[in-house]
Structure 1
Amino acid sequence: MKLRDYQQDAREAIQTEWENGTKKTLLVLPTGCGKTIVFSKVIEDRVKKGERVLVLAHRGELLEQAADKLEKSTGLKCATEKAEQTSIGSWYRVVVGSVQTMMREKRLEKFDKDFFDTIIIDEAHHCISDSYQRVLNYFELANVLGVTATPDRGDMRNLGSYFESLAFEYTLPKAIKSGYLSPIKALTLPLKLDLSSVSQQAGDFKASEVSTALDPYLESIADEMWKNASDRKIVVFLPLVKTSQKFTEILNNKGFKATEVNGDSKDRAEILEDFDKGKYNVLCNSMLLTEGWDCPSVDCVVVLRPTKVRSLYSQMVGRGTRLFPGKTELLLLDFLWHTDRHELCHPAHLIAENEEVAKAMTKQIEEAGIPLDLEIVEKQAAEDVIAQREEALAKQLAEMKKRKRKLVDPLQFEMSIQAEDLANYVPAFGWEMGPPSEKQIQTLEKLGILPEQIDNAGKATKLLERLDKRRVEGLTTPKQIRFLEARGFAHVGKWSFDNAKRLIDRIAANGWRIPAGIDPKEYQGD
């Protein structure tokens, strides 16, 4: 099987990380970009070196998929570690293992700690959990590759607590631009769904409370779906099985051909096959189909399980990003979720580089009232954010310039009062070498000294002491020095406060012009 360019690049990048001594590395590929094919080829490379490889996953479907793809793309067969099945005694070099099985102490102890040379973790965003860590810590000598579709930097930071590097990342926008995934259009529906009373559990919204909050809106949501997507093939994600079943009934009453699938569905395979073949045009589920299920003809996704976890959101949307003959785009239906405390995932978060751009994108999509292409919106939002930043920076610089015009540079002040001890000051003690305190900076600025030019606490202390001494002695202030020396008067630092004040008052009374008969170069401040 010939790999696409980015897949081959990923394969080589992973091997390079391991060759360079980085043992735990990550591969990030959007759903539908062939992550299983890539790690199958990586496995083939390692087996050719004589290694043993373990593929770890948390669900049976993922293990079966991995074994199937591995055999089809490389010809390698697998042994299995799952429930009653064991790989002990098998001559196969590759083992696919369920983490729930492998984590058990009795199961682990059957293997030598160096039995596996390489471990592949499918859906790696799960690997921070205790069950995965127990297995990974046992086989701590192995090279590890984590594979995930998460687009989120928050998730990446979490993964960074275990993985040492990101070997390769292929982004969703790149995949869409290259024609490997379907373009995505987002439409925000004008329904205000109130989640303000929903609490959190394990870092996300509590499913049972989301279900209760969602219940009053199900009829209206079904109406909006009929208005905007009645001719599409739709997957709907809901918080609970009972909500999923209730919504399926409502959709059928509206005219959809809807069905529901859950973990207890005995005829699950048959339902999914019927949906694939077009017997139904809506498939409702309670978070069952987030991983390991593909139906490329899906061209509309409805997320009724609001979440703040980007990896979960991208998994849901990923059920509709694959290409299919006649499919022009994936339509994402979003809602005006109302919540006071948490940042929700919206379509914008799939491709936005940062939260600022995501917010600008979400605002654009909400205000449009029509489906908008995410890439076009992202480009416009990114430009708008940069323009806003530049405008804010220009204002800030203007304010700083204005502020600095009113302050005197410390060196000018030192020269004016002829304070060589201040000009030549070098900090000696530890506390003196540290930066000025916030209080020192505020006091210096209040007294008319530009604080940015003072880089240590010792100098700040000496300056403040000198300013206090000058105040007691009735000598000129920094602000008087700045004003008069800017008009050509020399060594104003030696003048008295009162003399400087009288001269400034005369200049003010003369329309801020120097009165006739006064030559700044010769004036002594008497």
Structure 2
Amino acid sequence: MTDMLTRSLKKAFIDNQLQGSYYDPYLIINDASKKEFMLNVLHEELNTCTDFFFSVAFVTQDGLASLKTQLADLHEKGIKGRILTSVYLAFNKPDVFSDLLNIPNVEVRISNKEGFHSKGYLFTQKSHHSFIIGSSNLTMRALKINYEWNVKLTSYKHGQMIQDIGNHMEDEWQQAEILTKKWIDDYQNNYNPKVDLKESLIEEAPLYIRPNMMQKQALRNLRELRMRGADKGLVISATGTGKTFLSAFDVNQFSPERVLFIVHREQILNKAQEDYKKILGGPSSDYGILSGTRKDHDAKYLFATIQTLSKESIHSQFSTNAFDYILIDEVHKAGAESYHKVIDYFSPQFLLGMTATPERTDNFNIFELFDYNIAYEIRLQEALEEDMLCPFHYFGVTDFEKNGELISEETDFSDLVEEERVEYLLSKLNYYGCSGNNAKGLIFCSRKKEAQILADQFNAKGIASAYLSGEDNLKKREFEVERLEKGEINYIFTVDIFNEGIDIPKINQVVMLRNTQSSIIFIQQLGRGLRKDPSKDYVTVIDFIGNYKNNYLIPMALSGDVSRNKNKVRKDTYDTDFISGVSSINFEEIAKKQIFDSINNTKMDAIKELKKAYALLYNRLGRVPYLKDFKEQNVIDPILLAEKKKSYYGFLESLKENEIVLNDSQQHYLMIATREFLAGMRPHEVLLLEKLINIHQKNEREYISVNALQKWYGSLGLLCSDETISSIIRTLDLSFFTGMTKKTFGDAPFILEAENKIELTASFKLALADTYFYKLFIDILETALLNSEKFNTKKQLTVYQKYKRKDVLKLLNWKEQMVDQNIGGYTAKNGVFVIFVTLEKGENFSGALMAYEDELLDASTMKWFTKSPRTLRSPEIEKLKSPSIWTYHLFVKKSDDEGSDFYYLGEVLPIQNTIEEIKKTTQEGKKKNVVTLHLKLEKPIENSLYRYLTLKE
């Protein structure tokens, strides 16, 4: 630690050429493009601290909310902290002081110093102190959005600066006033804000409503769609992004004689009609309702419920071409017979469908209904980026535990509604709170009886609540919703309604008390609170996570990543920086563990799930999708599909979707290309094959010279050394492969090289003569090039990407593959030393001679053990003692559960004074020599990956 801290300070303030460490001082600037925020740093420091002290002038509810799970986890560990704040400019609202008082492990005081405007964050860590000083207050905009400067420094407790800061903060603390309930009441009674906090968050309503960014693009797309002769179009847009306004704008640009707007619920009609009047204007007589209670048949703009319109006695009163323009809201419901009756009857000039969730579980193909014309699509992430939705703070919290068992699918009903669980739920709802501290919430339950009893219990405790189910009529639903909006009740408990199609803008809290069965339903329920409203600054989403099998769906739903790649799902659980704007995603540690358990126990590439993903994209495209389609549409990781049955052709064949039957030779080529090229780790082979195939297709000369190839790669900015060219040739002629891989690949080279000329083999040319094989093979190459975009083509290896041992040797231009078992933890050749480390080896260290205790000491240093028996005189130790001759590469994976892929952490240097020979006990109880040393990374591991690798599950 001493050496690292000294080195870091010298690097920061004396010589930037020196190697730094994890303790380097650094400037913190919010940068959305790099997903780097002040909030990240606060989370990291809180996660490991033993004490903290914040001195911040301004605190907002959303800024405090973004730290609440970390503070809750610290409370579980018995760790406390202090916050010193102020009433400067009356910026801090009374609500935030109530929130602060509600955090049990944080003591709060109010400075009376005039002009109190400090922004400092001090953390006591186990071996040092760290502190951040700069411009960021504890507000969400300051932590994620605003252009702020903050500097993080590290110190020993005896350092002068940390002593000065600590002493000053302690003096200020002693002079400050203790935050109490009485203080808050007095502040509330005299509160007179000098700064209008709403001013920057909610714009005044414009005199004229104009299309937002999303709507402008959608309108252009709809116009172009019609110019191409289309008479149908589908708009996919997240709830709250203005689909109704968009349709009105499009009606305006289409200028139809008559318009029919179809909805599935009567209570939506009036709101839709009001929105149209705002955009289109005109006399009230132009607008009419067609429902169970009103029949305005002759209106120019007719708003109808599907229940009424689908009756033959009703729709037959109109001619089939009565409406030039028909819109269907929530069109994903159009699989129902009632919709078919209407759609089949009318013949408009243009039919527009609008939905937030086109993917259905009832096998109805919405895309086919609209001739696969997707006019525009904007999902949750993009809508947040464009500031169309209300920000939200998602809290994945641990559900109730009884007798050491968390709530699960098998939990007895009595345990779901018992008094102790109700108290637990209330404590969490109170802790995580909501904007304004006056809850207007929807609570989604798993069973009707549970929802009903919980509502009764909340009422008994003085928390006004109601219960609604699908059995309640429209009048009852509207009555309870109106009570919620007026603040007469705090919660509506529900089971099978309100997933969609309900507009309650004032909702500021969404609570999930059920197992996540579907990503679609999860987003629908989350979306209930995301419509903007002046009454709230953000929405609190509290998800009670029990011991459920489907917990892995939660990070998938929040991130929008449906690749079903286990590692991506894990990363989206611990690294939630993917969420845009001033929203945040937070998991309590135990809840996070439940998700990891679910990921570990789930077969992400189960054929059933792959078939679902295939069917989803098939429906969207209206044809057999190929690997490139899956990559571009981000439906699933195409590698999962392709490798499930040796190649994508094999997967199609299992579904009986293959156009023709390919012969064994053709299938063999597809299998090799899938395994070796699809990941896109090195584009050279793919580009060369494309070039040679193009030459062959055009009947030009059948070869390319080695010299010409080398120059061509150079012109593309790719690595083109003699060793690289040789490696590419050995990969494509299969001479690189050995052992079982060689046996599996057999004698099926793609190219042959002779006399400085490279050309396709005769057998591969024969395979290409088949148009279906050609299509499938080109699909692999094109998808591989898309995959290659995440790799640095100017380097042999890309830091933080994942590689198998075989891939590493190939990319480092070794002449031959080595069997993985022979490599084990490391191998060395021709001045290159590669090290592979599995951090979590399991309790029994199966497959290892002894318990190797490799570990990351910090983001820059790994403690590493050689194989045994080894001594200081062993050949590899001599190599480790010669850094001027050898280059060392480090690859790490968290556990064997991640498969055979390792993260590349970059080049390392063996720290010579740490090389030590020791004795360790083998599995048989014998003592054997082994050498241990520290490896220093060229660059510290990025924070999110370091957190993941060192997280104890």
Normalising by the smaller structure, the TM-score range is 0.5 to 0.7
Alpha-carbon separation, structure 2, partners of 1:122 and 1:21: 23
Query: What do residues 220-248 of structure 1 show as CA deviations (whole Å, max 9, x unaligned)?
Result: 65334322222432211235554322111
Within the candidate set 415, 419, 424, 1:216 is matched to: 415
| Identity between Structure 1 and Structure 2 (%) | 23
Corresponding residue of 1:190: 398
Q: For residue 368 of structure 1, what is the aligned residue in structure 2?
A: 589
Structure 1 unmatched ranges of 5 or more: 197-211, 372-384, 416-422, 436-526
Cα contact 2:545–2:551 (8 A) shared by 1? no
Q: Cα gap change, 1:57/1:297 in structure 2, threshold over 3 Å: closer, same or farther?
A: closer
Partner of 2:738: 403
Q: Secondary structure at the match of 1:346?
A: helix
- Deviation of 1:60 after TM superposition, in Å, equals 0.4
Tell whether 2:458 aligns with 1:251: yes
Q: Deviations over 1:29-78 (max 9, x none)?
A: 211111111112222333x2x43221111110122221221123322542
CA displacement at 1:348 relative to structure 2: 4.1
Distance 1:215 1:67, change over 3 A: farther
Q: CA deviation at 1:124?
A: 1.2
Q: Write the letter of the residue equivalent to 1:5.
A: M
Task: Provide TM-score, normalisation by structure 2.
Answer: 0.36
Give the match's secondary structure for 1:32: coil
Q: Structure 1: how far apart are the matches of 2:363 and 2:211?
A: 26
Shift of 1:358: 4.7
- Asked if 1:40 corresponds to 2:375, the answer is no
The match for 1:103 is 310
Instruction: Check whether the contact 2:237–2:379 (CA below 8 A) recurs between aligned residues.
Output: yes
* Paired AA for residue 185 in structure 1: H
Q: What is aligned with 2:133?
A: none
In the TM superposition, residue 147 of structure 1 has moved relative to its aligned partner by 0.8
Q: What does residue 283 of structure 1 align with?
A: 492
Q: 1:358 to 1:115 in 2, by over 3 A?
A: farther
> What is the rounded CA distance, in whole Å, between the counterparts of 1:432 and 1:52 in structure 2?
53
**Distance apart, 1:253 and its partner CA:** 4.0
Q: Quote the Cα distance in structure 1 between the aligned partners of 2:524 and 2:770.
A: 55
> Are the structure 2 counterparts of residues 221 and 6 from structure 1 closer, same or farther at C-alpha, using a change threshold of 3 Å?
farther
Distance 2:531 2:301 in 1: 29
Flag the 1:183–1:147 CA change in 2: closer, same or farther, 3 A: same
User: Once the 2 structures are TM-superposed, how far is the Cα of residue 406 of structure 1 from its aligned partner?
Assistant: 4.4
Aligned CA-pair RMSD: 4.5
**Candidates 209, 218, 222, aligned match of 1:10:** 218
Is 1:117 aligned to residue 308 of structure 2? Answer: no
> Where does residue 722 of structure 2 map in the other structure?
none
In 2 relative to 1, CA 345–107 (structure 1 residues): closer, same or farther, beyond 3 Å?
Answer: farther
- Matched residue of 2:450: which SS? helix
Please state how far the C-alpha of 1:27 moved relative to its aligned partner.
1.0
Is the 8 Å Cα contact of residues 417 and 450 (structure 2) preserved in structure 1? Answer: no
The change in CA–CA distance for 1:183 and 1:83 in structure 2 (over 3 A counts) is: closer
Check the 8 A contact 1:188/1:369 in 2, yes or no: no
CA contact (8 A) 1:61 1:292 kept: no
Asked if the contact 1:306/1:345 (under 8 Å) is kept, the reply is no
| Contact 1:35 1:147 survives alignment (8 Å) | yes
- Give the secondary structure class of the aligned counterpart of 1:331: strand
- Assess if the C-alpha contact under 8 Å between 1:65 and 1:292 holds in 2: no
Within 5 A, what are the aligned runs for 1:259-298? 259-261=466-468, 263-264=472-473, 268-298=477-507
Structure 2 distance, partners of 1:434, 1:130, is 39
Greater strand proportion? 2
Q: Which has the larger radius of gyration?
A: 1
Judge which range, 261-270 or 221-230, deviates more: 261-270
How far is 1:218 from its partner?
A: 3.3
Matched, 1:74 2:280: yes
SS at match of 1:185: strand
Name the CA distance, whole Å, in 2 between partners of 1:268 and 1:302: 19
Of residues 357-366 and 330-339 in structure 1, the stretch that sits farther from structure 2 once superposed is 357-366
**Within the alignment, does 1:83 sit opposite 2:283 as a pair?**
no
1:286-344 deviation per Cα after TM superposition (whole angstroms, max 9, x unaligned)? 4443344434343321123545344433332122113345745322222335555x688
Q: Secondary structure at the match of 1:316?
A: helix
Question: Which residue, out of 383, 386, 397, partners 1:175?
Answer: 383
Q: Could you list the runs of 5+ residues in structure 2 that have no partner in the other structure?
A: 1-208, 400-405, 576-585, 593-635, 641-675, 686-726, 754-760, 774-953
Equivalent in the alignment of 2:621: none
Residues 427 and 183 (structure 1), Cα distance of their counterparts in 2 relative to 1, 3 Å cut: closer
Return the letter of the residue paired with 2:531. R
Instruction: Answer yes or no: is 1:94 the counterpart of 2:293.
Output: no
- Given the superposition, is the C-alpha separation of residues 426 and 14 from structure 1 closer, same or farther in structure 2, using an over 3 Å criterion? closer
**Matching residue of 1:330:** 539
Give, in angstroms, the shift of residue 349 of structure 1.
Answer: 0.6
Provide the C-alpha distance between the structure 2 equivalents of 1:432 and 1:96, rounded to a whole number of angstroms. Answer: 55
Partner of 2:267: 61
Cα gap change, 1:281 to 1:139, in 2 (>3 Å): same
Q: Is the 8 A contact 1:239 1:286 kept in 2?
A: yes
Match of 2:238 in 1: 30
Give the superposition deviation at 1:393: 5.7
SS at 1:276 equivalent: helix
**Contact in 2 for aligned 1:223/1:254 (Cα 8 Å):** no
TM-score normalised by the chain length of structure 1: 0.62
Report the 3-state secondary structure (helix = DSSP H, G, I; strand = E; otherwise coil) of the residue aligned with 2:397.
strand
- In the alignment, which of 522, 536, 560 is matched to residue 352 of structure 1? 560
Equivalent position of 2:428 in the other structure: 228
User: For residue 387 of structure 2, what is the amino acid of its counterpart?
Assistant: G
SS in 2 for 1:145: strand
Q: Summarize the Cα distance change of 1:434–1:97 in structure 2 as closer, same or farther, 3 Å threshold.
A: closer
Provide the residue aligned with 1:52 in structure 2: 258
Do the aligned residues in 2 keep the contact of 1:27 with 1:145 (CA within 8 Å)? yes
**Counterpart residue type for residue 484 of structure 2:** F
SS at match of 2:240: coil
User: Do the aligned partners of residues 395 and 276 (structure 1) sit closer, same or farther apart at CA in structure 2, a change above 3 Å counting?
Assistant: same
Distance change (3 Å), C-alpha of 1:13 and 1:99 = same
Determine the C-alpha separation between the residues in 2 that align with 1:36 and 1:279: 29
CA distance in 1, matches of 2:382, 2:449: 38
**CA distance in structure 2 between the partners assigned to 1:104 and 1:244 by the alignment:** 35
Q: Name the one with the larger helix percent.
A: 1
Q: Deviations over 1:342-376 (max 9, x none)?
A: 688536414423243456434766563589xxxxx
> Per the alignment, do residues 410 and 223 of structure 1 end up closer, same or farther by CA in structure 2, a change over 3 Å counting?
same
Contact 2:222–2:233 (Cα < 8 Å) also in 1: yes
* Alignment correspondent of 1:379: none
Q: CA deviation at 1:176?
A: 1.8
Structure 1 residue identity aligned to 2:305: S
Partners in 2 of 1:87 and 1:302 — Cα distance? Answer: 40
Q: Measured at CA, do residues 335 and 112 of structure 1 come closer, stay the same or move farther in structure 2, by a change above 3 Å? A: same
Q: Note if contact 1:151-1:314 (Cα within 8 Å) is conserved in structure 2.
A: no
- Supply the AA of the counterpart residue of 1:44: N
- CA–CA separation in structure 2 for the residues paired with 1:81 and 1:366: 47
**Residue 233 of structure 2 contacts residue 374 of structure 2 at CA under 8 Å; is this kept in 1?**
yes
Q: Deviations over 1:91-135 (max 9, x none)?
A: x22221211222222323222222222210111111122211121
What are the Cα deviations for residues 121-167 of structure 1, in whole angstroms up to 9, with x where unaligned? 11111112221112111124542111112285979983223222211
